[in-house]
Structure 1
Amino acid sequence: MSLAISEAARDALEEWLSGLKSLRGASPATLDAYRRDLADYLSFMAGHHGGPQGIAALGRVTTSDMRAWMARERGDGLGARSLARKLSAVKTFYRWLAQRDGLEVTPVLSARSPKYQRSLPRPLAVDAAKSVIDAVGTADGPPWVAARDAAVITLLYGCGLRISEALSLTVDDLPLGESLRITGKGGKERVVPLIAPARRAVEAYVAIQPHVVTPGVPLFRAVRGGALSARTVQKAMAQARMALGLPSSATPHAMRHSFATHLLSAGGDLRSIQDLLGHASLSTTQVYTAVDTARLMEVYEASHPRAKAR
């Protein structure tokens, strides 16, 4: 962390991060991102005002100061989406300072987040998702490796898991039942139904994998016996993608997007899909309504007689 940051500001930052970890269960990656974002912001304010800023000085930040910081970030090439994320972290920190120290933080909280085009998830078509699982499951190499990769991809598509959630499963989760208890982002637990094809895929892998099965070890193992990495799954997906002629957007995470989009298309309600995905906010899940609407418009434009006549 920069020496330009005052000791008081540095201590406040660490106290805030500690609170996020203990009260909200923020992940190490999230905490590291917040620490970097706030360290950059606090360093800028120190340079902007000619010296380290204590807590009281941070409470005197003006609208002009905020504009100067945001202009510097954009001038350094930071994109609108990244700046919006950074500003959100700064505002969250200042809300905490206001509660702890009674600071007046209106100029910070009133800073407008830059507008950006929110990218929509790019799910696969139903037949493409099925083809990916088949392709991964018949890839060259040891049969148990193909079965392993197929089991992981099936969990992403069949249960809507994040890749990190699938890879966090251990042999303690065996034998598989009708559902899985998943610990997601922020340490939040949820229970997801385990569909029969996903259960069969995992059981097929377990039956032929060569490693010693002991309590506590990862369910999905690498060739040498260690925990399977996300990168290995991504490579398997890339090979299947190229074999099938699918776009680069066909990633492991796209299988989770496909799970949500296909459920919505089949009549699933947003609140249920939110619970299955482990989204903290319904607004995060609502992006799939835009995806579904876009798909419907594509079908309309391609097939409706009046649309064709334009």
Structure 2
Amino acid sequence: MSNLLTHIDQFLDQFSQRYRPKSVEVKSLTLRQLSEYLSEHNIQTWQLCDQACLQKYIIYRHKNGLSLTSLKTHLASIRVFFDFLESKEIITSNPARLVKTPKVQQALPKVIAVDTIQELLDQMPDPDNPLEIRDLAICELFYSSGVRLSELTALDTKHISLSANEIRIIDGKGGKDRIVPLGNKAKEALQRWLTIRDQWMKLDNALFITQRGNRLTSRQVSNRVKHIASKLGKGLKVNPHMFRHSMATHVLESSQDIRSVQELLGHADISTTQVYTHLDFGHLSKVFDSAHPRAKKKSKK
């Protein structure tokens, strides 16, 4: 272990001449933790610390609670140190350059249950003030069409066709336009909102505006969505994107048509849409029991 520490001290002495004390402290802690690990595994020289050894060490640190962000910082320090060892011809090449951090498992989107989202949207069947009429139209549109927050705030009145029951999304993600259908509930909510909107000052062509006539910002929309959720009184934390995730999940569970959901969401690659295929086990069980020929229960005679 002394041989390992000797080279670490030499590196830190050189490193400290060019970098701040905090950076030196981080490097020191990282490398001493690595040397302890190597010593425990009877590896006494840096020449014996190859790619496989370092990869096992990174996995070990990950399993013991080091976050992926911290692992990247950890590995960066090790790479710099091994560059030093290579420059001093202590090793012939830097094995740390080939080591990878564990992949981040893609988190499933948060979805609001069908019953909850129905209750959320039905809690104001007859809003008694203009702001809530507007806010309900926003939420209904989010859930009906699955539009992104940025797409909703960019909508102008000309992009809505109530007669054709559709919305035109202009310059969506990736610069692509698309047309999405408008559900009856969303259409009714928009009709009521447009009547109010016509009575307000209109400084912008935006579909959703403030009482002063300005286009609603993304932050304002997010705050109003939270306000509606808070009125339900269940401690429900809702953001605009959850309506998009919920719509996609609910439609996919009912239709099993992933291509249509891909079109609705405006995904360029279907692999992006596949995250919504996380159907709950209860739903899968019902489908299996009703559809699989060897799972159907025999009717009693």
TM-score (norm 1): 0.56
8 Å CA contact retained: 1:171, 1:218: yes
Question: In the alignment, which residue of structure 1 is the partner of 2:264?
Answer: 276
2:142 to 143, 156, 171: 156
Question: In the alignment, which residue of structure 1 is the partner of 2:111?
Answer: 123
Report the more deviating stretch, 169-178 or 186-195.
169-178
Q: RMSD of aligned C-alpha atoms?
A: 3.8
Alpha-carbon offset, residue 136 of structure 1: 5.8
Give CA deviations for 1:198-243 in whole Å, capped at 9, x if unaligned. Answer: 12211110112232457x6111001222111222222232233233
Matches for 1:183-262 after TM superposition, within 5 Å: 183-209=171-197, 210-213=199-202, 217-246=205-234, 248-262=236-250
Q: 2:166 is matched by which residue type in structure 1?
A: S
Matches for 1:60-99 after TM superposition, within 5 Å: 80=68
Distance 1:132 1:190 in 2: 28
Alpha-carbon offset, residue 248 of structure 1: 4.6
Distance 2:202 2:263 in 1: 32
8 Å CA contact retained: 1:163, 1:252: yes
Distance 1:243 1:272 in 2: 33
Determine helix, strand or coil for the equivalent of 1:132. helix
Determine helix, strand or coil for the equivalent of 1:266. helix
Question: In the alignment, which residue of structure 1 is the partner of 2:166?
Answer: 179
Distance 1:184 1:121 in 2: 20
Question: In the alignment, which residue of structure 2 is the partner of 1:14?
Answer: none
Alpha-carbon offset, residue 189 of structure 1: 1.1
Distance 1:205 1:225 in 2: 14
User: Is 1:147 aligned to residue 133 of structure 2?
Assistant: yes
Question: In the alignment, which residue of structure 2 is the partner of 1:47?
Answer: none
Q: 1:223 is matched by which residue type in structure 2?
A: Q
Question: In the alignment, which residue of structure 1 is the partner of 2:21?
Answer: none
Report the more deviating stretch, 241-250 or 229-238.
241-250
Aligned identity (percent) is 37
Question: In the alignment, which residue of structure 1 is the partner of 2:254?
Answer: 266
Distance 2:286 2:268 in 1: 32
8 Å CA contact retained: 1:163, 1:253: yes
Alpha-carbon offset, residue 249 of structure 1: 4.4
Q: 1:189 is matched by which residue type in structure 2?
A: D
Give CA deviations for 1:284-308 in whole Å, capped at 9, x if unaligned. Answer: 1111112x145647999xxxxxxxx
Determine helix, strand or coil for the equivalent of 1:200. helix
Distance 1:82 1:173 in 2: 46
Question: In the alignment, which residue of structure 1 is the partner of 2:120?
Answer: 132
Q: 1:112 to 1:126 in 2, by over 3 A?
A: same
8 Å CA contact retained: 1:159, 1:192: yes
Distance 2:71 2:177 in 1: 30
User: Is 1:168 aligned to residue 154 of structure 2?
Assistant: yes
Distance 2:239 2:155 in 1: 20
Distance 1:82 1:201 in 2: 47
Q: 1:112 to 1:281 in 2, by over 3 A?
A: farther
Alpha-carbon offset, residue 117 of structure 1: 2.7
TM superposition outliers: structure 1 runs of 4+ over 3 Å: 78-84, 109-114, 135-140, 245-249, 293-300
Q: 1:138 to 1:178 in 2, by over 3 A?
A: closer
Determine helix, strand or coil for the equivalent of 1:286. helix
Determine helix, strand or coil for the equivalent of 2:102. coil
Give CA deviations for 1:23-69 in whole Å, capped at 9, x if unaligned. Answer: xxxxxxxxxxxxxxxxxxxxxxxxxxxxxxxxxxxxxxxxx9xx9xx
Determine helix, strand or coil for the equivalent of 2:123. helix
Distance 1:115 1:132 in 2: 36
TM-score (norm 2): 0.57
Give CA deviations for 1:73-126 in whole Å, capped at 9, x if unaligned. Answer: x9xxx9638999xxxxxxxxxxxxxxxxxxxxxx9x987463123211121122
Distance 2:157 2:126 in 1: 24
**Higher relative contact order structure (alpha carbons within 8 Å, sequence separation ≥ 6):** 1
Q: Which runs of 5+ in 2 are unaligned?
A: 1-50, 73-94, 288-301
Q: Which has the larger radius of gyration?
A: 2
